[in-house]
Amino acid sequence: MSVGLNSRARLCKSTSKLVKNPQITSPSLAKSSFTQQFRHTANQNTPLSPFVAPASSNSSANDILELDDSFTDIVCSSNLMSIAGFGSLLSETSALTTFPDLVNFRLAKVKGWRRVFAHSCQVFFDRGIARPETKEISSLSVEPHPDSEIAVTVFEIPATPHSIAAFIEREHEFKFIAVEPICFHTNHSLRRSAVICGANTDDNYKATRCPPDEWERRYGRYNIGTLWHDPGVLPCRTYLRHCVLAAKKLGAEVEDNFLDSTLLSDRKTSVREHLERNPEIMMEEPPPSLVGRYSG
């Protein structure tokens, strides 16, 4: 039986937040055309205990389960937590740089969310690949969109303090949202929630994870006044190329999904259109120190 987020909401601890979002509906999406075969590249035999949700709930299907930084609500009885990757985490190589103990790296889908290059990213400045003069400084997040479906990777990491701290540091600026991925091949639920990195706001980020002194340490030296409220940002070129290459390695249908369903900050221009206008992006090699991390 599929376990829905609306049922699992009752498993929330007091530190988690259920956020009403009237934009989310229960869309009747057309059956996906995804048929690309995908090989599990990690241990497929790791036991994963599914959640057992109560039979009913007071929460509606329009609720979003926002997770706190303990991730208690998605840790299974095997003390593993699932992560849904939609950008750089489409690359197992990239995922392993942060999570060397990950298991069950596999392909899945998430309905009702879309990818958007909507915010500035500190790490691009740290690594010397941001181009503030052209505003090519943005990274990916997901936001609710009832008619969208995105290809993702899903994998498990040990829910240890070290692994959780590594995840939070990697994804510091995001809201952490619980989603229910479905099998890439069968459209059946994976019967477990995964954390995905949702769009945030400056105010919420500062209130929950980045107080003034931390903001100054991370962003002040780059004169970044806002992360989430600059509508003119464009994708970081090196990062965009990496994500496209990672999607391509997962198969033609995953690549098409990434190119056509990923939008720039205007919410109109697709990545495919952006690359058609700027084909040189895919020809630009990353700096030598980042070749391993940003090559798909």
Write the CATH number for 140: 3.10.490.10
- pLDDT for position 184: 87
Q: Is residue 227 part of a domain?
A: yes
- pLDDT for position 64: 87
Q: Is residue 37 part of a domain?
A: no
Does this model's pTM top 0.85? My answer is: no
pLDDT of 127 over the 80 cut:
yes
- pLDDT for position 55: 25
Comparing CA positions, the residue from 172, 149, 136 lying closest to residue 27 is 149
Comparing CA positions, the residue from 175, 187, 104 lying closest to residue 149 is 187
pLDDT digit string, tens, across residues 22-68 = 332 222 223 233 333 333 333 333 344 333 232 222 223 357 899 99
Q: Is residue 27 part of a domain?
A: no
Q: Is residue 28 part of a domain?
A: no
pLDDT digit string, tens, across residues 207-233 = 999 999 999 999 999 999 999 998 899
Give the three-class secondary structure for 135. coil
Structure tokens at 85: 């990757």
The total of structural domains in the chain comes to 1
- pLDDT for position 186: 87
d(Cα 228, Cα 200) in Å, to the nearest integer? 7
Q: Is residue 271 part of a domain?
A: yes
Written as one letter, the residue type at 101 is D
pLDDT digit string, tens, across residues 246-265 = 999 999 999 999 999 999 99
Q: Is residue 64 part of a domain?
A: yes
- pLDDT for position 42: 36
Q: Is residue 178 part of a domain?
A: yes
Q: Is residue 295 part of a domain?
A: no
The range of the structural domain enclosing residue 71 comes to 5-21+59-288
276 secondary structure, DSSP code = H
